[in-house]
Amino acid sequence: MSVSRVAAAQALIELGQYGSVIDVRSPSEFALDHLPGAVNWPVLGDEERRVVGTLYKQVSPLKARQVGAPIVARNIARHIERDVLERPREWRPLVYCWRGGQRSGAMAWFLGQIGYRTAQLDGGYKAFRSALRADLDTRVAALRWTVVCGRTGSGKTRLLHALQAEGAQVLDLEALASHRGSVLGGLPAQPQPAQKRFDTLVWEQLRQFDPARPVFVESESRKIGALLVPETLSERMRSHAECVFVEMPAEARVRLLLDDYGHFARDVDAFCKQLDGLATLRGRAVVKTWQAAAREGHWAELFAELMAQHYDPLYDRSMQRSFGGLRAPHRLTLVNHEHTTLAAAARSLLA
């Protein structure tokens, strides 16, 4: 069978129609980002790609192809033997590489020669990335947004989870970013994804939403850890969204923070190192006092001070300046972060 080429914008719509989406780039390229649901069948591994690329630049394209061709052929053969022999006749794969050139072309040709109706992504991942960003902007504009606001420790994220459990549409940006959004928000042993991967994860979530129903999202800043929230989404949240302002008593907020950030008690040095990032804003002497409290195990007192002296003033200034919906928000009081409290609050919002 012949190989057809499919445009990136069309591939966005048809992704679910392919039997497999095959990324033939190297493992490191795949790890940075890939199409939703893609599997990695590299035709050149990371070191092989480096060797062939060096030959291309320093010797000649001919020498690079002479060396690369047998490597590509052997790798394709292994993928076919491992992953293709049991595929039915109706299997329809979509194959792509970086720009839709030789790497995906070689794999697509072999699969087409076997007899499978194979599609090759025109322009490769690079074209897909451009189409995704444009489609993301369109989807953001089409959705109705409700932003959940509130001071640190007031239960915003847990309320989002409760809303999701009640069937609401929820975009949990912190979960997608693997970060809680503050200077202390890094998650233990869980690095953040690359920016491109984060964008793809956001888009993948957006395409599952029904524009006729609201989408709940937390009042994030423009950056979550090292990652930028897509600009159109950030602007939409700030200028064209309703706001729910969540409040919780200070004592309950401290208990929630002790629950969420309990891992710092197991690595006090890491916590103190992260506190160093507040020295510019709060002064070295204040930060040293907080670090001493952490080393002495006074976590409740420390979190209460962090809320009063750092997080609350910073959040109040930022939110009032950034989110237009806070001029007339729906106010919601949570007495604690217990499951029954959150579930009842979620149901009241949806009602």
The set of catalytic residues is: 97
Task: Outline where the chain has alpha helix (H).
Answer: 8-14, 27-32, 46-58, 61-83, 102-114, 124-142, 156-165, 173-177, 195-206, 231-239, 250-260, 268-275, 279-282, 284-295, 299-306, 312-322, 339-350
Distance between CA atoms of residues 205 and 64, nearest Å: 40
CB atoms within 10 A of CB 202: 22
3-state secondary structure of 213: coil
- The residue length of the chain stands at 351
Distance between CA atoms of residues 67 and 321, nearest Å: 59
Q: Considering Cα of 36, then 38, then 40, then 44, what sign does the dihedral take?
A: negative
Whether residue 246 contacts residue 148, with contact meaning beta carbons closer than 8 Å, is answered with yes
Burial class (CB in 10 A: 0-12, 13-18, 19+), 262: exposed
Sheet with 241-247: list strands edge to edge.
169-171, 214-218, 144-150, 241-247, 330-333
Instruction: For residue 334, give the nearest of 213, 248, 233 by alpha carbon.
Output: 248
Whether residue 283 contacts residue 310, with contact meaning beta carbons closer than 8 Å, is answered with no
Beta bridge partners of 121: 6
Strands 3-6 and 118-121 come out as: parallel
Q: Considering Cα of 155, then 156, then 158, then 162, what sign does the dihedral take?
A: positive
Question: Which amino acid would we find at residue 231?
Answer: E
